[in-house]
Amino acid sequence: MGLRDQMSGFFWLAISIFVCVESAQVSLGTFHSPGPGFLPFWAGVVLGTFSVLLILISILKKKGREKLREMWKGMRWKKIILVLFSLFLYILLLPKIGYITATFFLMIFMSGIIKRSKLWIEIVIPLITVLASYFIFDTWLGILLPRGIFGF
């Protein structure tokens, strides 16, 4: 846990410095008349202070020091990266090819990531899911889902 805390501590310290700088640019005002940047600045200071504390505590802790490699032991990297990549691609393509097309391919891909199955099951279940969701959310509840170049 020590190495993880150090890494995350530095990350949050960087975020806090960034927030403080951004807030100062907006106008801090004074203690008696806070400006728009006042509370974000002090929230950034609190975040930065405690991230420094976290870093110091993790450095001083001698027990339970893990190696970098051990931190990610047992993680199923490939599946996580595949899911995230496909989701990101989906978000980029959604406004272009429309909800039904984009979601259909996403569902096929996602269910295949966990476990492959018979081809017809891998196509039929996503198709039913997508069409049912379109009917429920777009037609019935009136949420206008993206149409794309195919018009649906």
Partner 1 sequence: MDTLHSLIYGFSIGLQPANILFCFFGVLLGTLVGVLPGIGPVGAISILLPATFRMSPVSAIIMLAGIYYGAMYGGSTTSILVNIPGEAASVVTCLDGYEMAKQGRAGPALGIAAFGSFIAGTLGLIGLMFFATPLAEFALRFGPPEYFGLILLGLTLLIYLSHGSVIKAIMMGAFGLILSFIGLDPINASPRMTFNILDLWDGIDMVPLAMGLFGIAEVLINIEESETPQILKTKIKNLFPSLLDWMQSKGAILRGSVLGFFLGILPGGGAVISSFVSYGLEKRISKEPEKFGKGAIEGVAGPESANNSATAGAFVPLFTLGIPANIVMALLFGALVIHGMRPGPFLLKDHPDLFWGVISSMYIGNVMLLVLNLPLIPLWVQVLKIPYRILFPLILLFCIIGSYSLKNSIFDVLLMFIFGIVGYLFRKFDYEGAPLILAFVLGPMFETNLRQSLTLSKGSFSIFFTRPIAAVTIILAIILLITAFIPYFIKAREKI
Tokens of 12: 């949050």
Residue type at position 73: K
Q: Report the SS3 class of residue 29.
A: strand
Residues of this chain that bind partner 1 (CB under 8 A): 1, 4-5, 7-8, 12, 15-16, 19, 22-23, 26-27, 30-34, 36-37, 39-40, 43-44, 46-47, 50-51, 53-54, 57, 74-76, 79-80, 83-84, 87-88, 90-91, 94-95, 103, 106-107, 110-111, 113-115, 117, 125-126, 129, 133, 137, 141-146
Nearest-approach distance from CB 16 to partner 1, in angstroms: 8
Nearest-approach distance from CB 97 to partner 1, in angstroms: 13
Nearest-approach distance from CB 120 to partner 1, in angstroms: 15
Task: Count Cβ atoms below 10 Å from residue 9 Cβ, excluding itself.
Answer: 20
Tokens of 125: 């279940």
Q: Give whichever of 54 and 101 is closer to partner 1, judged by the CB atom.
A: 54
For 52, residues 6+ apart whose C-beta sits below 8 A from its C-beta are 9, 13
Nearest-approach distance from CB 74 to partner 1, in angstroms: 8
Helix axes 77-97, 99-114, angle to 10 degrees: 170
Provide the sign of the torsion angle of the four alpha carbons 121, 122, 127, 128, taken in this order: positive
Nearest-approach distance from CB 134 to partner 1, in angstroms: 10
Query: Position of tokens 């801090």?
Result: 28
CA distance linking residue 13 with residue 19, whole number of Å: 10
